[in-house]
Structure formats: C-alpha cells, structure tokens
Amino acid sequence: MPAAKQIEFGGHALVWVGDWSPASARAAISSAARNGYDYIELAIFDPWNFDTKLTKDLLQEFGLRAHASLGLSAHNDVTSTDPAIVAKGDELLRKVADVLHELGGTELCGVIYSALAKYPSAATKENRTNSVRAMQRLADYTADKGINIDLEIVNRYESNIMNTGMEGLDFLDEVNRPNAFLHLDTYHMNIEEDGMQKSVIAAGDRLGYVHIGESHRGYLGSGNVDFDSFFAALKQINYKGPITFESFSSAVVDPSLSNTLCVWRNLWSDSDDLAKKSLDFMKARY
C-alpha cells in the first residue's frame, strides 16, 4: 500500500552540513527543527556506513522526521546493459530503503532510476526498459515497508531517461505501481519545462514529492524561477506531499554530490538565515 501523503515542509541536509558525522548530524537536525521544518531530507549515498541509530535518536530528540534521496552512479546505474551493474543498483536502492524504514521515513526520492550524470548519448530502448524494470522491483520491495518511491525529473545534463514532467508521467505509466510517484524540482523545471504549471497540473495526484530550488541554487526569490505560478499550480491540484527546500553553496561541500552538481559558487554562508527565510518564503505561497 502507498504511504499516505501529507503536506510537510523540509530541508535538504546540504543546506546545513557536508557530511554526516555525529556533530554534523546534530547541527543539521537541531537547526532544521529550530527553524520550524517538519523533516530533513538525507542524501544516503552509502547506506552501509550510515549511522542509523545516531540519526534516529537525534530525530526523536528534536521531534523531526526524515526522508531520503540519492542519485545513482556509473557503478550502479540501473539503466546499464551490464546485469552486474544493474544488480549493484538494485542492492544499493534496497539498502537505502532499509535505512529509511528504520528511520521511520516514507519517501525515497531523487534520481534513483539512472545515474546522476551527463550521458554521452540518448538512452536506448534497452536502457529505458532496464530503468522501468528496476523501478518496478524497487516499488515492490518498498511497498511492504510503507515507502513511496518518487522519481525526480532532472535536466538534460543529469539524466537521459526523462527531463520533463510529461516524460515522467509516461515513465510512471510503464512502471505502473501504486507507490511510484513523480518528483518535480523547480530548479530543473526552470531549465526544461514549458512554464511552471503544465507538468504539475498534468500530474495531479501522481505528484508525490517537490523540491523548491532557485535558478542559481541560492536564496529563494533572488533568481528567476516563477514560484508564484508553481505554487498556484500546487494549489490547483490540492497537492498533498512533502515540499523540500534545496540549496547548494560552496560554503557546504559534500564531495560525493557537490562535484556532480557543479557547486562551485558561494551563494550563501549562513545556513540558519537561509533555512528560516526559505521556509517563510514557501509557507507564504502555500
């Protein structure tokens, strides 16, 4: 059964910290709670070395929830034509789901259907088929844990499987699982979409997760994303689900993600100020 969706506001862990040491985990979770967020989104790239007990204890201490995200790499790309690489992807995704389940989270999102990378050519039919089948396996595995999978639509430089919400809906039709949903991100939409409303409205109740990011990854409202149109579309479909603020700066560096996302600029340095103003910005519009 799909986990029940509810409106909640969260922040990506990289708003606060670049690693997940005990000190960093406490700093991120305490700040997210102090600034009024409902949950923190954890990028779990190495679930075998993730301190689940520490994280769970801190979440309980500060009354916060957690969801999880990740992007695959060339070593575990489920679109690959090499069965051994696909198997590694399956293994990673199942392990992340296990960690998320232990934390009490219900949403596994991100680029979990391909590598988070610029591909040298278009996806083949076999690449797409492999991706669909991997998501079917993952959805079946997570269903019994009460976890939804939310497939993030990213720009052409980060995946060759799907780059618009409409493409994502076609992909979901092929996956055909009740706990598989669309994940839209305003940063990527600003690059690829025909406006900020079309894919939201078309998705309707199949929209399961939202990332709110500015065009340059900095403070909301300081770039050129049309947030008013986007939030109006969310209201039109009566969106119920997580809304995560996502921002990256060279002030906070996670080598496993910062290089992939080309986070070279220092767009902010005060995480608390950024977190507070961003939550106020989102709540003022939804």
Which residues are 207's β-sheet partners?
A: 182
* Backbone dihedral angles phi then psi of residue 66, each to the nearest 5 degrees: -145, 145
- Give the helix ranges, DSSP H, for the chain: 22-34, 52-62, 83-103, 125-143, 165-175, 186-192, 198-203, 227-236, 255-258, 271-285
Catalytic annotation, residues: 152, 246
Q: How far apart are CA 22 and CA 255, in angstroms?
A: 18
CA-CA-CA-CA dihedral for 130, 135, 138, 143, to nearest 10: -150
Please name the residues in contact with 124: beta carbons below 8 A apart, sequence gap of 6 or more.
Answer: none
Quick count: other Cβ atoms within 10 Å of Cβ 22? Answer: 11
